[in-house]
Each structure stands twice: as C-alpha cells, then as structure tokens.
C-alpha cells in the first residue's frame, strides 16, 4: 500500500487534528523543500477543518522514534544567492506562521530528537509536550553551521522562555533534555515515553477542558527584571556580546548576528523579529564560514558512522560496560564522570587514597553542576555517582573492558604503570593511554600484549571538548582501535584515528600555527593584530 505523503493531516474520533511527519524515504524527518510544501498544504487542510468546526485542536507529531531532525543540510550548504536564500527563509516563516495562527490550540508532541527547524516548528505551536525518553532532546544548532534560527526560532524562543535562557540555547546550540525544557518553560509537560503518543491525546483533552492551558514557569524577580525591561535586556545583551567577542572574536559572525537581531527587535512585534531573522540569515547562508562549517558537520556525521578502520577490516568493537581509569587527577576524574554519566561502571585507581578521594570529588562535582544547570535529574545524578568507585589496588580494575591510563605525562612512569596493570586484566581488555605527545609505540614496549594498546587522547576539560584522538601504534590491532573508537562515540565524542607521530593531529597543527604567530611578532606585527587574525 502506498503511504500518504509526509506530513499527512488526519482527524481522529475526538475531533483532534493530527499533522503527522513520517517520511517513508528517510530514517528521520527532514524539512526539505517538498516536505515544507506538503506542510503548507496540511496546514491549509487543518485551517479548513477548524473553520468547519470539525477540529477542536491540532497536534503535530513525528515518527515513532524521532520528531524532526531540522532543515535539509544539503540545501543550507548549496545556497549561493542571498536573495534566493531570503525568499526561501520567508516562505518557511510564512508556513510556520500559518501554524501559529490556527484558531484552535496547537500542540507539538516531541518524542526523540527535535533539532533546528523542528524546534522552530514546535515554537509556532501553543504547547510543547515532550516524552521522558533519554533520546528526547531539543536543540537549535544553527550557530554551529554559521547561521541563525530564521524560521521564527530566534524571535519566538526569546519571547517564550526569556532572553537569558534563550541566549544560552541560541549561542551554544547545545541539546536540552526534557527536564531542563520543562524547567525553563520550553515544555508544557513531560509524558512517560512508554505511553507517549496515546497520552498526548489526554493532554489535548486537558487543554480543551482548561481554556487557560498550561502556563510557562515564572521567572524569579531578578530574572524577570532582566528579561522584561529595556534596561535589563540591554545589560544582558551587552554582557553576551562581550563574552562572545572575547571567546570567538569576529571569526564567526553567526553569534553576533543573533545578538544583533535581538538587540534590534526585543520588545517589538514578532513580524519585525522575523524580518530581521531573514535578512541576517540570508547573508550568513552564502558566507564562506557557513560553507566551511557545513563541511565540518558532514565530517562529524561521517565519524559517527565510521569504525576507525580500513574498509577491508573485519574487526568488530567489543562491548564496553566497565571502564577502568588509571590516574585520579583532573583528566582521570573528568573521564570517570563522563563514563559514569553515560551508563558505564567506572573504577578509578591512584597510588594514594587522598588522590582517589580528590578524583571522585572532582567527578561528582561535575555531575552536580549538570544537575544545577538542569542537564541531569537528581535521580540520574545519583545513579551516575553510584557507578563510580575507586581505590589504590589494581584488582579494582579487574573485569574492565577497557582501561584508560591518565597519569602524569612521563613516559617511564606510564610504562611502569601499564606493565603492573596488565597482569590484572583479561586478554581481551584494551589498554589506552591518554597522552598528548608521547610515543604510543614506545610506551607499548612495556606490555606483553602490545596489540591491545593504543592512544586515547581526551582534551581538557574532558566534559567540554568534543574531539578525541585515537592513536594507532604499529602493533595496535584493528579490534583495539574499533573498541576505542566506538567507546568515544558512546561517550558523545568525535573520534579521529591518527598514526603514532609527533604531536598526533591537533598538536602537530598547533605547532606551526604558534610558530607563525611568533614569526609575525618578530616581524613587527602587534599582539592585537595577530590575535584578531587568528
């Protein structure tokens, strides 16, 4: 049977209209040109049904496992003409405005990933209900592509949750969990994932019986003062601009464009906000920065689908359920926190009880900060903390699927440590060294089974830096690389496999980069000029 085009409009027995995104040609829903045209048609159908009193509410939902993965990234990367870009943006704004102007309550039922244009579509609705699944997240990552949310996202988000909370999402592009979305007023409700799609009907019935609907969370006094007054908004925007300029300079225009849109339009009409969004986004879309960042996006997506191995390799990654961390310093504590937060049983070893205690405290403090920022629930934090333990004996590392050595950056100490460690591990346990510059090949000489050994270089701070270098020495097996690569992906990192050469990848690039800065300085260039050009 031929499936209906996506999105389809249906009316159920309770007079609730459903706009259902379920593209049969894709594993996730993408807002391509054809899908946007069909959304306009579905919205017109919904409007007619409302006018004929056949529909009392409209719900927008996605696939069974995801909502909407945003706009078509290939269209973003291929746009060359700013006028055509602006026309396309304005068309999308018009379609979403059609949703927002429907004369009945509108609800976005978000289960799974809701990204970019998907969030903007949900913002055009009166309510957003999120499933409790840990796969459910909301994010506006446009800034990471060198653009800004221009289908109403910049304007509507700020008016919904306040300037400060909106800037956090808009300028970072980070994912927001259901718990945080509810806390900041982005979500009206969280519904258990197991009964999500059926329970959404109950939420709609509740909204219909309560005309006032669900209210957004009230912001505290100072927050209201900063968000709701011209003076307060001016202070927030000025501080945000100063922070962005200090962190990024002027190399990335998108964050500054977001701030410019909000500076010009906060306190004004939504229509004025949409107009400013379209003008700025059209310019950004055709810029070299956007093109380059889209290319980086594609590279990151490729890394997620890869194995880190040559195409002719038959090696498979081993499952990792327990990770050992040798060394309880800042890096060790950061790795332990990350692993435990991702569901792995974690054991941290050091030579002194005091060092282990400090490492555990560091890991747990990072987890508590996640709770304070609504990025983890108290229950999730407790579970993560319960997964971390440690001590001074090697036997605690027994049963590990992989051990990451993260002690002081001295080759002989690393060799001695992994030599002692090896006798406590199973033959198939991978050992990885977190080194930024030492030869993996030379460290591996301390092992009886050097084929199980590789480099796994996390950058500091571990919980923030996305890249992980997976370093192959001459004797490293494909299985060790595959397991380490897969682990990095499961930890939410971007792994890149590199050979065991001086500086690996990042520091090998950084060296000439810093040398050139030194040459410029010696040639008479000012520090300010060098920094502004970097």
Same domain, 269 and 369: no
**CA-closest candidate to residue 143, choices 241, 259, 254:** 254
CA atoms of 127 and 1, how far apart (whole Å): 34
Same domain, 269 and 341: no
Q: What's the pLDDT score for residue 211?
A: 54
Same domain, 131 and 263: yes
- Answer yes or no: are the C-beta atoms of 227 and 233 closer than 8 Å: yes
CA atoms of 10 and 168, how far apart (whole Å): 36
CATH number, position 345: 3.40.50.720
Same domain, 28 and 63: yes
**CA-closest candidate to residue 403, choices 327, 458, 466:** 327
Residues 6+ apart with CB under 8 A from 314: none
**Considering the domain boundaries, does residue 300 fall inside one?**
no
Question: Which residues does residue 324 pair with via DSSP β-bridges, in sequence order?
Answer: 347, 403
**Considering the domain boundaries, does residue 220 fall inside one?**
yes
Catalytic-labelled residue, pool 111, 127, 457, 463: 457
Give residue 221's Cα distance to chain centre. 30
Same domain, 521 and 443: no
Catalytic residue flag (residue 457): yes
Q: What's the pLDDT score for residue 1?
A: 33
CATH number, position 84: 3.90.226.10
**Considering the domain boundaries, does residue 110 fall inside one?**
yes
| Phi then psi dihedrals of residue 375, to 5 deg | -100, 0
- Answer yes or no: are the C-beta atoms of 162 and 220 closer than 8 Å: no
End-of-domain residue from the set 266, 293, 320: 293
Same domain, 50 and 137: yes
**Considering the domain boundaries, does residue 306 fall inside one?**
no
DSSP letter for 394, please: G
Domain tally, the chain: 3
CA atoms of 111 and 108, how far apart (whole Å): 10
Query: Which structure tokens are listed for 114?
Result: 């809701």
End-of-domain residue from the set 293, 326, 361: 293
Same domain, 363 and 399: yes
Q: What's the pLDDT score for residue 73?
A: 87
Same domain, 262 and 338: no
**CA-closest candidate to residue 6, choices 70, 74, 61:** 61
Same domain, 322 and 272: no
Same domain, 437 and 519: no
CA distances from 26 to 22, 32, 91, 105, 467 (A): 8, 11, 23, 29, 28
Same domain, 236 and 354: no
**Considering the domain boundaries, does residue 397 fall inside one?**
yes
**Considering the domain boundaries, does residue 383 fall inside one?**
yes
Same domain, 480 and 374: yes
Helix axes 221-228, 163-172, angle to 10 degrees: 70
**Considering the domain boundaries, does residue 523 fall inside one?**
yes
In the chain, which stretches have pLDDT less than 50?
A: 1-2, 212-216, 218-219
End-of-domain residue from the set 235, 258, 293: 293
Containing structural domain, residue 12: 8-293
**Considering the domain boundaries, does residue 305 fall inside one?**
no
């Amino acid at each position: 049977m031929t499936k209906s085009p996506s999105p389809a409009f249906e009316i159920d027995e309770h007079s609730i209209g459903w706009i259902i995104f379920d593209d049969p040609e894709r594993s996730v829903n993408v807002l391509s040109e054809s899908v946007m045209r069909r959304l306009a048609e579905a919205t017109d159908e919904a409007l007619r049904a409302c006018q004929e009193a056949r529909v009392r509410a409209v719900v927008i939902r996605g696939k069974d496992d995801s909502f909407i993965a945003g706009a078509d990234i290939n269209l973003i990367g291929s746009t060359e003409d700013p006028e055509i870009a602006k026309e396309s943006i304005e068309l999308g704004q018009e379609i979403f405005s059609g949703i927002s102007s429907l004369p009945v309550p509108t609800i976005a039922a978000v289960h799974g990933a809701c990204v970019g244009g998907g969030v903007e579509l949900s913002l055009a609705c009166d309510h957003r209900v999120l499933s409790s699944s840990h796969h459910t997240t909301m994010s506006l990552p446009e800034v990471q592509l060198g653009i800004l949310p221009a289908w109403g996202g910049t304007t509507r988000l700020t008016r919904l949750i306040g300037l400060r909370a909106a800037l956090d999402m808009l300028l970072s592009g980070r994912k927001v969990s259901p718990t945080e979305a509810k806390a900041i007023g982005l979500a009206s409700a969280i519904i258990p994932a197991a009964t999500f799609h059926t329970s959404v009907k109950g939420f709609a019935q509740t909204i219909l019986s309560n005309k006032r609907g669900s209210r957004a969370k009230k912001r505290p006094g100072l927050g209201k003062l900063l968000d709701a007054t011209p003076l307060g908004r001016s202070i927030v925007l000025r501080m945000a601009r100063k922070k962005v300029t200090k962190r990024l300079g002027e190399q990335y225009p998108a964050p500054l464009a977001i701030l410019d849109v909000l500076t010009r339009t906060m306190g004004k009409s939504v229509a004025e906000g949409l107009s400013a969004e379209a003008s700025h986004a059209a310019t950004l879309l055709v810029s070299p920065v956007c093109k380059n960042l889209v290319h980086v996006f594609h590279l990151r997506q490729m890394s997620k689908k890869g194995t880190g191995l040559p195409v002719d390799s038959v090696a498979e990654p081993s499952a990792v359920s327990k990770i050992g961390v040798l060394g309880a310093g800042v890096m060790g504590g950061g790795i332990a926190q990350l692993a435990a937060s991702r569901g792995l049983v974690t054991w941290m070893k050091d030579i002194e009880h005091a060092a282990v205690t400090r490492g555990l405290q560091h890991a747990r403090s990072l987890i508590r900060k996640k709770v304070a920022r609504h990025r983890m629930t108290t229950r999730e934090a407790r579970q993560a903390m319960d997964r971390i333990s440690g001590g001074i004996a090697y036997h605690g590392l027994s049963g590990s699927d992989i051990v990451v050595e993260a002690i002081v950056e001295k080759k002989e100490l690393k060799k001695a440590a992994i030599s002692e460690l090896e006798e406590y591990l199973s033959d198939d346990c991978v050992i990885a060294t977190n080194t930024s510059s030492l030869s993996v090949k030379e460290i591996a000489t301390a092992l009886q089974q050097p084929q199980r050994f590789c480099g796994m270089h996390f950058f500091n701070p571990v919980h923030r830096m996305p890249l992980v270098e997976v370093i192959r020495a001459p004797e490293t097996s494909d299985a060790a690389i595959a397991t380490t690569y897969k682990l990095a992906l499961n930890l939410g990192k971007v792994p890149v496999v590199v050979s065991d050469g001086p500086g690996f990848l990042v520091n090998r690039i950084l060296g000439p980069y810093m040398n050139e800065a030194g040459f410029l300085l010696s040639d008479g260039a000012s520090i300010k000029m060098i920094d502004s050009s970097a």
